[in-house]
Amino acid sequence: MASSRNIINLDDEASSSSSSRPPNEPRPAAFRDEIDTFADAFDRRPRDAARDILRDDPLDGDIGEVPMSFKRKQKQSVFSQPGRMLSALTGNRFGSRSPASGPSSTGTATPTLLQSIDPERRDSETFAPGTGPKDGVPLDWYAEGPGRRVGYEDLTAIDWIFEHTKERQRLRVLQSGATGLVGYVRQLADSSQVWIILVLTGIAVGAIAAGIDVVSDWLGDLKEGYCSAGPDGGAFYLNKQFCCMGYDQGAKCSDWKPWAAALGIGSAFGKWCIEYFFFLLFSITFALSAGFLVQEYAIYAKHSGIPEIKTVLGGFVIRRFLGSWTLVTKSLGLCLAVASGMWLGKEGPLVHVACCCANLFIKLSPDINGNEARKRAVLSAAASSGISVAFGSPIGGVLFSLEQLSYYFPDKTMWQSFVCAMTAAGVLQALDPFRSGKLVLYQVKFSTGWHGFEIIPFALLGILGGVYGGLFIKVNMRVAEWKKSSTWLPGPLTQVAIVAFLTALINYPNFYMRAQSTELVSSLFEDCSLVLDDPFALCKTGAASASTIVLLLFASVLGFFLASVTFGLQIPAGIILPSMAIGALSGRAVGIIMEIWQHNHPNFFPFSTCDPDVPCVTPGVYAMIGAAATLAGVTRLTVSIVVIMFELTGALSYVLPIMIAVMLSKWVGDAFSRRGIYESWIHFNGYPFLDSGDEGGGAQHVPDITAGQIMTRIEDLVVLTATGHTISSLRAVLDSCAYRGFPVVSDPRDAVLLGYISRSELAWNLAACHLPPETEAFFSHQPLADPRSTLDLRPWMDQTPLTLPSRSSLHLAVSYFQKLGVRYVLFSDRGVLQGLLTKKDCWHVLNGVEETRRTGAAGTADGVRGVHSTGGGGDGVDEEENSLLGGTRGSLRPESPSDDRASGIL
């Protein structure tokens, strides 16, 4: 390395450029042959050749009698001539004939100078009209374009511009040959790939969701008892609902056997102790089983998965996050985790399951699997099916994907999301796992409307929901930071066992907390006037309601702390349903208070609008609005929550109070922090996610400084010169540093920017070229270089990188990363390289992370120093240890560009 700029220019005898060859040195045979060919072409009657060429000029003639028109020539119909029908069916262009292949006007083919050149020579530097990208031929990678790609390494960002360019080129080639019936069939097959994948994804997600509902309900009921083979046709594999189907009251069911009755214990205290013991035993067993599956088979199956999905859809590569083992582990672990009775839900993880299904079906289509941008568009559409089956809300799922998950969501993706969500909901409806005609257990109907005086308690629930959301995020993040910083804590499985034991120990005495979350929310939402069985005693009136209110509020407070500790453990766990349960508990308590107040003081002036013989206050409505408010406070969603609640109730009249509560909840939650729970976990895990909709006034505040103040200057970069390299010297550069890319300049003195080459492409080419170590390598056009004995790296170099002046504002640079999805931006003044800014650099500045940029810091990305990305809780994967090229830094094991591991998501 030379000078303080670290510009690599190894100018020795073994690595000198072709342009610096001594003038008296004899040329290789290949160059002498080319020169002789040119000489023969010029010696062969140059005047006659020029005359023959001009004779073929279409303008060399009398065109005065032919009227000239600039109107577009009308395309003839397929049926205008009998012979054109066969051409249309076979795919030939109508009346098209290559002028180069046909005879000239003189009847003999006259060779031109370009035709006499050896066809085996790599003459891609020449660009002739009519052979550009608009004619459906591949790009000339030697002279233009963003460079070719080997693949993306783990925990790196994709190049959105390159992926979109590659897709446009593919479509251009497809359309250029899509003539005739065969061509139209090919176009139809190409455009239908996405729809087939999404329909298959919807079918798979609907079936998996139905299976998770049935298995989790059976395992959850197994904590209390089992279904015996009795006179009513019971069987062990039936849960309590199916075992007692046909009974209006569950106490009259004879086939369901609690564990105390099965063991023949008759005393009340003995029954309580035995059932308490089995409740603890099964809860801990189920939680440990879920944690064991995650730890042994798929570590990415833990948590909700939504923060990682947002990061992946934003252009980040996380290997094995959407693989088959992750899908199986997440599905089985979700059944066990939900059945354990811990304060977690399956709604968020179902989004992860949906994306895993879509990723498996994407592998059936090489065109989509080979393009990271198209793959993420399909995943955005597939994510809606997870919420669709979780809440029975197809439209809410589409809006959830649009509002919360998607980074790039065009109109066609919305239509694709709608189809996928509709298919998943239709399959779930057809399977009917609850045998009730409901997509989810807590779909309810209300018999009455709401009154004007109820706006005040509805607004109060909205404020409480925002306070809950803000406090929950702070407590949950403090717990996560404490676990990450404490070295004396036990392992992940031990933590799961401890939390499961404490949760079961607290849940069983309170029968509101003892029930499964779906059953609890369903009972809290129900209208007492339509209830036949009241297992939770929610419809009691009079003085008995006081104990109900106390138990509801006590359960909501305990659920708040248990959910704060549970969300973040190494098990599949969502936060949507626990938030709804906590909000429904407090909302039901407020509703009962309002009902008692109205009942005891019917003449109070706010209650003057109530009808005398009709219930004026419905506590179930308060539970529903409280659930929506707390969910909005935690996730900071607005429109999708309103639509989901509307689809759950089917009552259009309750949309306005839900909107008011959600609006107030978001405002109050934003006063605590602009980040929702998912954005907070993205920040905690260090994922470089830049919200494309954040204009700088949200959670990611853009400082009012120039980009030159935070960019990595050229003095701190390892820069490659255009010439003066050998394969061994470039390998030495890769071994000496861990940077993910290198700017290419003309020479050390001028430092004129020529392009940028990524570490993956450079390392793959050095390993796959099978040339001696002393072979010359270069990044610029060398007209006298022998392609058989040199390595031309121009096709793999980005020759058109996005550049900005070094005095540009940081806001403009951030907009490049947010709107265009680029991985890096180079800064140059009048063509001279000044510095580099990467996506991770930008993320660290916006999120206020103080990272040192010392030489040799691990975990760099795209040339930035000192950015080390790991997952939360110490489960992160070092970027260099899981690189594309096989493991350790400096490893040069060749890998095919078509290798499945080279695709971003597995």
Q: What is the pLDDT of residue 16?
A: 37
Distance in angstroms between the alpha carbons of the first and the last residue of the chain: 38
Q: Which strands make up the sheet holding 776-778, listed edge to edge?
A: 725-726, 776-778, 790-792
Task: Kindly report which listed range (234-243, 509-518, 695-704) carries the lowest average pLDDT score.
Answer: 695-704
| Gap between the Cα atoms of 776 and 362, Å rounded | 41
Q: What is the pLDDT of residue 540?
A: 74
- 844 pLDDT band, cuts 50/70/90, is confident
The more confidently predicted of residues 80 and 803 is: 803
Q: What is the pLDDT of residues 633-645, one digit of tens each?
A: 999 999 999 999 9
Residue 109 has pLDDT above 50, yes or no: no
Q: What is the pLDDT of residue 143?
A: 54
Please name which of 155, 185, 55, 28 lies closest in space to residue 109, comparing C-alpha atoms.
55
Calculate mean pLDDT across residues 817-821. 86
CA 763, 375, 180 angle in degrees (round to 5)?
105
Q: Positive or negative, the Cα torsion across 567, 568, 573, 575?
A: positive
Residue 896 has pLDDT above 70, yes or no: no
Q: What is the pLDDT of residue 542?
A: 60
| Gap between the Cα atoms of 132 and 144, Å rounded | 11
- 144 pLDDT band, cuts 50/70/90, is low
Helices 639-649 and 619-635 sit at what angle, rounded to 10 degrees? 150
Residue 395 has pLDDT above 70, yes or no: yes
- 803 pLDDT band, cuts 50/70/90, is very high
3-state secondary structure of 835: strand
CB 476 within 8 A of CB 483: no
Q: What is the pLDDT of residue 721?
A: 93
| Gap between the Cα atoms of 385 and 416, Å rounded | 11
Task: Kindly report which listed range (75-84, 765-774, 785-794) carries the lowest average pLDDT score.
Answer: 75-84
| Gap between the Cα atoms of 433 and 218, Å rounded | 12
The more confidently predicted of residues 117 and 225 is: 225
| Gap between the Cα atoms of 54 and 495, Å rounded | 86
The more confidently predicted of residues 33 and 349 is: 349
Phi, psi of 477 (to 5 degrees): -70, -35
Q: What is the pLDDT of residues 56-68, one digit of tens each?
A: 444 444 444 445 4
CB 352 within 8 A of CB 306: yes
Q: What is the pLDDT of residue 38?
A: 41
Residue type, 554: F
Calculate mean pLDDT across residues 575-595. 93
- 231 pLDDT band, cuts 50/70/90, is confident
Calculate mean pLDDT across residues 876-902. 35
Burial environment of residue 311 by CB neighbours within 10 A (0 to 12, 13 to 18, 19 or more): buried
- Pair type for strands 725-726 and 776-778: antiparallel
- 22 pLDDT band, cuts 50/70/90, is very low
CB 583 within 8 A of CB 552: no
Element (H, E) at 790: strand 790-792
CB 633 within 8 A of CB 666: yes
DSSP state for residue 803 in the 8-state scheme: E
3-state secondary structure of 825: strand
Residue 701 has pLDDT above 80, yes or no: no
Q: Positive or negative, the Cα torsion across 237, 387, 377, 153?
A: negative
Q: What is the pLDDT of residues 361-375, one digit of tens each?
A: 999 999 999 999 999
Which tokens hold the place of 740? 């993910």
Q: What is the pLDDT of residue 603?
A: 82
Calculate mean pLDDT across residues 50-56. 44
Q: What is the pLDDT of residue 545?
A: 77
Please name which of 513, 514, 575, 500 lies closest in space to residue 291, comparing C-alpha atoms.
500
- 558 pLDDT band, cuts 50/70/90, is very high
Q: What is the pLDDT of residue 251?
A: 62
Please name which of 358, 370, 458 lies closest in space to residue 401, comparing C-alpha atoms.
358
Q: What is the pLDDT of residue 327?
A: 95
Q: What is the pLDDT of residue 720?
A: 94
Q: What is the pLDDT of residue 604?
A: 83
| Gap between the Cα atoms of 217 and 59, Å rounded | 83
Residue 905 has pLDDT above 60, yes or no: no
**Ramachandran class of 687: left when φ > 0, alpha when ψ lies in -120 to 50, beta otherwise:** beta
Q: What is the pLDDT of residue 442?
A: 72
| Those residues with Cβ within 8 angstroms of residue 66's Cβ, 6 or more apart along the chain or in another chain | none
Q: What is the pLDDT of residues 332-357, one digit of tens each?
A: 999 999 999 999 999 999 999 999 99
Q: What is the pLDDT of residue 637?
A: 92
- 862 pLDDT band, cuts 50/70/90, is very low
Q: What is the pLDDT of residue 257?
A: 87
**Ramachandran class of 873: left when φ > 0, alpha when ψ lies in -120 to 50, beta otherwise:** left
Residue 473 has pLDDT above 60, yes or no: yes
Residue by residue, DSSP assigns 509-547 as TSHHHHS-HHHHHHHHHS-GGG-S--TT-TT--TTHHHH
Please name which of 317, 677, 278 lies closest in space to residue 472, comparing C-alpha atoms.
677
Q: What is the pLDDT of residue 330?
A: 95
| Gap between the Cα atoms of 182 and 203, Å rounded | 30
| Gap between the Cα atoms of 905 and 375, Å rounded | 9
Q: Positive or negative, the Cα torsion across 696, 702, 705, 707?
A: negative
Residue 734 has pLDDT above 90, yes or no: yes
| Gap between the Cα atoms of 645 and 459, Å rounded | 17
Question: What mean pLDDT, rounded, does the chain reach?
Answer: 78
Beta-bridged to residue 258, according to DSSP, are 225
Residue by residue, DSSP assigns 219-281 as HHHHTTEEE---TT---TT--HHHHTTT-SSGGG-SSEEEHHHHTT--SHHHHHHHHHHHHHH
| Gap between the Cα atoms of 444 and 799, Å rounded | 60
Q: What is the pLDDT of residues 620-633, one digit of tens each?
A: 899 999 999 999 99
Rounded to whole angstroms, what are the CA distances from 799 to 753, 758, 780?
9, 12, 10
| Gap between the Cα atoms of 430 and 203, Å rounded | 11
CB 735 within 8 A of CB 23: no
Calculate mean pLDDT across residues 320-343. 94
- Pair type for strands 719-721 and 741-745: parallel
DSSP state for residue 436 in the 8-state scheme: S
Residue type, 385: S
Residue 258 has pLDDT above 70, yes or no: yes
